[in-house]
Structure 1
Amino acid sequence: MDIKRDLIEGEEFKLPCIQFTPSKSKGAAVIVHGYGGSKEEQLGLAWRVALKGITTCAIDIRGHGENPNSLDRNILTDLEVAISYCRQFGKVAAIGHSLGGRLALVSSADYAVGISPALGSIYSSETQNALKWKRDYRVKADSPDLIFDVFSGLPIWKPEDDRKLIDHTLIVYGSRDMPDIMASCKELKSDGLSVIQIDDALHNDIYNIEATFEVVTGKIGEWFDLRQ
């Protein structure tokens, strides 16, 4: 397994990433952290996905980690640049947590995994306070309220508009997740999508739980026809 820190070239910006390249690769995955997160938080998940035989890139989206650019409404561009870069390895899965889950689901990736995805455009005061006061200090942004402007500017994910998404999408959430997120995920399950609840998982630890690793890598193996 080759592991390297790198910068993916975008248009007038560079995207920090950590890339895992197995000796034999059959596709690629981009791992996207949530609001206030970083690529380093996602290395465990990235490693487990790479072990399946997939070239995997964990990235820092703008406003986060080593990315020098401030948070703004063009945040989806970062993920799309990473997806375009990874197409050299074959089909691409986007795997994201929270805000990253929303980005993954609305991206151009061939497959998408939303881990506790932030799907709504309106959030309760409890959720807003959690984002502003518990995560804001880790984000480069002009205002703690900017994140809600970013959410409102993202495309609305509507799987009912394209039923083939059912076979290309996985939703994972925790039994102790944020109420807004649990409600939206349960609604998607009733619509026929593949939605899995991880017992006892919280919003901010679900991406580092063994049960999540197993569910996500299992689906990746199915999508990419991996035998190991």
Structure 2
Amino acid sequence: MKQNKNSLEIEEVIIEGYGCQVPVLKLTPPESRGSVVVAHNYGGSKEEMLGLAFRIAKTGFTTGVIDLRGHGENSCKMDGKILSDLETAITYFKQFGKVTAVGHSLGGRLSLISDADYAIGISPALAKTFGPKTQGMIRVLRDYRVNGSVTDLFTTLGKIPLIEFDPENVLIIRGSRDVPEIIAECDKLTSAGYEVVEIDDALHVDIYTLEPTFEAVTKKLQKWY
């Protein structure tokens, strides 16, 4: 509900997708220059990403933060069609102008290969394989929050294509203390000429909550739009 002419309007929206209803929190500024869709990590939810979405919306973007299948209020089990949930939201938000997809970890990988006009991957899960230590950490810390399992996660990642990104339309952000496999993949992108921003002292689990990350995301959005 709008409080005054300078406040954000926040509303719950359900978008009909491919076999799933995609729950969205939509943040609308008084004046909008375009749109952004925010996607969470494995075991995450739209509520966890709401702080990032709020900071983006404050800079003048109609912003939607979603629950991917298997997560939060999305009632579908996690499976290889998870990208379609993000694409469903992107299609919906095109009515508000060009769309940037912003995602963390799993959401970052999905964002980078989506049909959005621009993409920002925060600690994107781009590795083809993850070692036993990383898999064990995910199993202990994240599995209980998902309608699925770590086995479903890696099966899903195997079904999500890795493609070439347009360096002009992509930003990669990673933490200096990120997951080793993610650091390695981001370093490859740096060598290939992509813009990769490192956030000092950031961990994989907190990078999307930090002020330097907010600043990197909003600075890039201002440039693109």
Structure 1 and Structure 2 fold alike (TM over 0.5): yes
Give 1:106's match in structure 2, choosing from 113, 137, 155: 113
Deviation at 1:69, TM superposition (A): 0.5
Q: Indicate whether 1:148 and 2:164 are aligned.
A: no
Q: Percent identity?
A: 51
CA distance in 2, matches of 1:117, 1:144: 17
TM-score between the two structures when normalised by the length of structure 2:
0.95
After the TM superposition, which of the residue ranges 213-222 and 120-129 deviates more from structure 2?
120-129
**Pairwise CA RMSD:** 0.9
Q: Which residue of structure 2 aligns with residue 188 of structure 1?
A: 189
Deviation at 1:144, TM superposition (A): 3.3
Number of residues of Structure 1 aligned to a counterpart in Structure 2: 218
CA distance in 2, matches of 1:12, 1:186: 37
Deviation at 1:157, TM superposition (A): 2.7
CA distance in 1, matches of 2:19, 2:83: 15
Opposite residue 156 of structure 1, the aligned amino acid is L
CA distance in 2, matches of 1:222, 1:211: 17
Structure 2: tracts of 5 or more residues without a match = 1-7
Give 1:68's match in structure 2, choosing from 75, 78, 95: 75
Q: Which residue of structure 2 aligns with residue 162 of structure 1?
A: none
Deviation at 1:12, TM superposition (A): 4.0
Matches within 5 A, 1:1-228: 1-141=8-148, 143-159=149-165, 165-224=166-225
CA distance in 2, matches of 1:139, 1:157: 26
CA distance in 1, matches of 2:13, 2:53: 15
Opposite residue 203 of structure 2, the aligned amino acid is L
Preserved contact between residue 119 and residue 157 of structure 1 (Cα < 8 Å): no
CA distance in 2, matches of 1:42, 1:13: 21
CA distance in 2, matches of 1:34, 1:199: 20
Deviation at 1:115, TM superposition (A): 0.1
TM-score between the two structures when normalised by the length of structure 1:
0.94
Distance 1:190-1:110 versus aligned 2 partners, 3 A rule: same
Opposite residue 151 of structure 2, the aligned amino acid is D
Opposite residue 223 of structure 1, the aligned amino acid is W
Opposite residue 33 of structure 2, the aligned amino acid is K
